[in-house]
Structure 1
Amino acid sequence: SAANNDGGASNSGHVRVFQESGGTWSQTGSDINGTASNNNLCPVALSSNGSIVAVGEPGFGANGRGAIFDLGLALPVALAHFGGTAQPGGIELAWQTASEQNNAGFEIQRSAEGAAWESIGWVHGQGTTNATHDYLFTDLSPHYGINYFRLKQVDFDGASEYSKVLSIPFQGQYLTLSVYPNPVRGHWQIRLTKPLETPGQIILSDLVGRTLHQASLEVGQERWEAPQMPPGSYVLSLKATGGFISKRVTVE
C-alpha cells in the first residue's frame, strides 16, 4: 500500500525509496504504486544497482506501510559501455561506468587467440561514486590481425570481475618500402613511404632464411643506409608494430 491510498484505486498513492550519498538524498529505483484495498498483490521496486528492494503492503488504506531490504548485491562497478577502435598507431579502448563501489581500478588484458591473457596496462578507478566516468586506454603494440581485450575490474579488497571480451582487428600502419638504387650496386638504402609511427626492425637475410644483418629503426625514421653486400640475392624484411613487409633484393 502507500500513503494517501484511498483503498479504491482511484488514488493509489505511491512509495519512493531514497538513498543518501555524500549528504545528498536521491531516489533509487522507481515509484512503488499503492494498491486497492481488495488487491492482495505486493508492489515491489528494485534500486538501480540491484542492492535494495522495497515491498509495499497489500490491500490496506492510507497507512503507507511496507518494508525495505538491503540485499548487499550491488555490483562493484556498473559498466555502461566498453568498446574499441583500431587507429594507425594502435588500438584505442574506451569504457564508461554508471557507478562504482570500492573500485581500485581496471587491469587491461589482451590475448592473441582469446584464451591466454596478458596484462598490458592499468587505469585507476574512482573508488565509490554514483556519477558516470569515462576511461580511455591505447594499446600501442597490438598483434597483427585479431586482438582480444577484456577488463579486469579490481576492488580495494582484491576481489575482481571481468568484462565482456572485445575482438578488434588490427592491420598496422600502412607502409611500403623501396630500394635505391635498384638494382643495387655498391652503397644502397631503403626508403619508406612515410616515417615510422612506432619502432621497427630491419632484417637482411639470405634466401634460406639466415640473418646476415639487422638494425633497429626509430619512430620518425624513413630511410636506412644498408651495408655493402657481395653480389647475390637477399630478402629484406621490415618489422614494425602491427605490420611486416619483405622484399627481395638483388646485389650486382
Structure 2
Amino acid sequence: LYWAQSSGTTSLDQVSSAKFDGSDPKILISGNDKFINLQTIAIDAANNTIYVGDGNNTGNTGISRLNADGSYKDNIKAGIDAVSINGMQVAGGKLYWVQASSSISTENKLCSSDLNGQNVVTLASGNSATTFANPQTLYVDLANNIVYVGDGVNAGNTGISRFNATTGAYIDKIVTPTGAVSGLQVAGNKLYWVQTSNTASDDKLCVSDLNGQNVVTLASGNSATTFINPQSLYVDVNSNSIYVGDAASANSTGISHFTITGTYVKVIAAGSSIISYNAIYGASITTLPVTLVDLTVKVQTNAVELNWQTSYEQNNKGFEIYRRGDGGEFTRVGEISGKGNSAVAINYTFRDKNPLDGNNYYRLVQIDNDGKPTNLGERVTTFQLVDKDIKVSPNPTSDIATLTFPIATYETLELMDLNGKVLYRQYLDRSVSSVDLSLAKYAVGSYLVKLSGNGVQKLNKLIKK
C-alpha cells in the first residue's frame, strides 16, 4: 500500500508505503525538497515508477517522477503556484490527471500525456455544468473508455461525471452528492467513492453501479471506527478490502481498513491532527537493491575507466565488472565493494588496465548480500592498442624491435607493462624517425610502447617471444 500525505510540518510531507496489514511501514521520500504540498500519487508498476502531484502552493513542483525506492527521478510537468494536481492515474501507457485552481478558472482541467510528460492534451476544461468546477479526483476505466471525475466543494459542484477517455467529450453526470468527491475507483464492475462535507452525515464511503445507479452507503463518518473527513480510498476486491485515508483533524483516523461491505477492520496508519492522507494506491512494484544514477566509460592513456553513481543502496555487497570484445563472451575483469545501505549519492570508479584492442563491451552487475546479481547496464567504447602512425617490426620479437614514426613529432619513448608501470624511458631527438628498442632483459609477454610529444600520446602493443 502506497500513500501520499501532506502537513504543515515539512518532515511530514511524505510518500510512504506499508504492507496491506500496515506492517513494514517505510518513508520513501519526505520534506519540501521535491514537493511542497503533496496531493496525489500514481503507481506505474510496469516501469517501477511513482508519480507525485503537488498542491496549490507557492513554489509547487507540478508532477514529478520517483523511482520505486522513492529516490527522485525527474520533473515532467512544471508547477503553477495557484494550481493543484489533485488526482492521477497511469492507464494504457498514458498519464491522466485532474488539476484545480480557485483563482485561475482556465486551469481547472482533465489532462493526459505520455508517461514522460510530453504531448500534453487537455481533454476537458472546467467551470461548466457539463464538466466540473473544482476537480478533486479521477479514475480511468479503459475497459469502457471512460474517465470518471469527482468534483470538489463549489457552487457549481457537478458531483461525479463521466467523460470519453479518448476525446474528453462529456458523457453525463451520474452522482450528485452533497459534499466533495475526494476519491474514486472502479473495481469489480462497481464504482466506489468517498465524499466529505462540513455536515457530518455527508462524510461517506459509497458504492454504485458504473452508471451511478443503486447507490449504497457502506460507511458513514465522524466516529473512531470510520473517518472524520475522508480524502482518498483504494479498493482491493481480491482481498475484499477497502482502505480510506482521512484528513488532518483532532479525531483523524488516519488510514483505515474496511471490508468490501463497509465493516471497519482496523487502523493501518495512525491518524494525526496535522497529517492529511490525500491519496492511497495499492500496487506491487520491484525495488532494485541500488538506484543507478549514471554509468559511463572513458578511454584513458593506457586503460578504460568506468564511472558510476548510486543514489540509494540496500543490502549492497558490491559490484562486478564484466568485459567482452566483438563476438566474445563476457568475463569478469574486476569487482568493487558496495556501501551496504545508503540513501546518499556515492561515486564509484573502476580502471580496466588491460583493455582489448578494438571494441570493449562492459557490463556492470550489482551483488546483494545474499549473492543475488542484478544487471545494471552495459556500455561500449573503442580502445586502440595499435596506432597506424607507429610501425613496430618485428612484432613479436625475441630481442630488438624497431619503431618507425613521423619525424619531428615525438619527444619521449616509454616501455610499460600492461598495468601501466614504466619499465624504460628514452628521450628522443626530434630529428629522428626510428629507434631500436631492446627487450633482451625483459620476460616473455606483452608490453605497451608509448610515444609522447606535441601534446600527443600514441600506444602500441609489443610482444616479447
| TM-based fold match above 0.5 | yes
The 3-state SS of whatever aligns with 2:365 is: strand
Residue number among 195, 198, 202 corresponding to 1:60 in the alignment? 195
1:52-74, Cα deviation, whole Å (9 max, x unpaired) = 8x998335224334346573621
Equivalent in the alignment of 2:187: none
User: For the residues of structure 1 that align with 2:305 and 2:286, how far apart are their CA atoms?
Assistant: 32
1:198 maps to amino acid: D
User: For the residues of structure 1 that align with 2:292 and 2:306, how far apart are their CA atoms?
Assistant: 14
1:75 equivalent in alignment to 2:288: yes
User: For the residues of structure 2 that align with 1:169 and 1:220, how far apart are their CA atoms?
Assistant: 26
User: For the residues of structure 2 that align with 1:17 and 1:93, how far apart are their CA atoms?
Assistant: 34
Equivalent in the alignment of 2:39: 33
**Shift of residue 137 of structure 1?**
0.5
User: For the residues of structure 1 that align with 2:350 and 2:342, how far apart are their CA atoms?
Assistant: 21
User: For the residues of structure 2 that align with 1:103 and 1:130, how far apart are their CA atoms?
Assistant: 12
**Shift of residue 245 of structure 1?**
5.9
Structure 2 spans left out of the alignment, 5+ residues: 7-12, 18-25, 44-49, 52-65, 71-87, 90-181, 185-193, 197-228, 232-243, 246-279, 394-399, 405-411, 427-436, 441-445, 450-458
Given the superposition, is the C-alpha separation of residues 159 and 116 from structure 1 closer, same or farther in structure 2, using an over 3 Å criterion? same
The answer on whether the counterparts of 1:199 and 1:219 sit within 8 Å (CA) in structure 2 is: no
Given the superposition, is the C-alpha separation of residues 3 and 154 from structure 1 closer, same or farther in structure 2, using an over 3 Å criterion? closer
The answer on whether the counterparts of 2:309 and 2:345 sit within 8 Å (CA) in structure 1 is: yes
Given the superposition, is the C-alpha separation of residues 116 and 220 from structure 1 closer, same or farther in structure 2, using an over 3 Å criterion? same
The answer on whether the counterparts of 1:79 and 1:98 sit within 8 Å (CA) in structure 2 is: yes
Given the superposition, is the C-alpha separation of residues 239 and 68 from structure 1 closer, same or farther in structure 2, using an over 3 Å criterion? same
Count of aligned pairs: 191
Given the superposition, is the C-alpha separation of residues 110 and 24 from structure 1 closer, same or farther in structure 2, using an over 3 Å criterion? same
TM-score after normalising by structure 1: 0.58
Q: Structure 2 matches for 1:1-252, cutoff 5 A? A: 16-18=14-16, 26-27=29-30, 33=39, 44=42, 46=50, 48-50=66-68, 57-58=183-184, 59-61=194-196, 62-64=229-231, 65-66=244-245, 67=280, 69=282, 71=284, 73-113=286-326, 115-172=328-385, 176=390, 193-199=412-418, 219-222=422-425, 224-225=437-438, 240=448, 243-244=460-461
The answer on whether the counterparts of 1:150 and 1:162 sit within 8 Å (CA) in structure 2 is: yes
Given the superposition, is the C-alpha separation of residues 114 and 153 from structure 1 closer, same or farther in structure 2, using an over 3 Å criterion? farther
1:100 maps to amino acid: E
Larger RCO (CA under 8 A, 6+ residues apart):
1
1:156-200, Cα deviation, whole Å (9 max, x unpaired) = 111111122211100138684789xxxxxxxx7857951124349
Given the superposition, is the C-alpha separation of residues 50 and 225 from structure 1 closer, same or farther in structure 2, using an over 3 Å criterion? closer
**What do you get for the CA RMSD once the two structures are aligned?**
4.4
Structure 1 spans left out of the alignment, 5+ residues: 5-14, 35-42, 180-187, 201-217, 228-237, 247-252
The answer on whether the counterparts of 1:108 and 1:122 sit within 8 Å (CA) in structure 2 is: yes
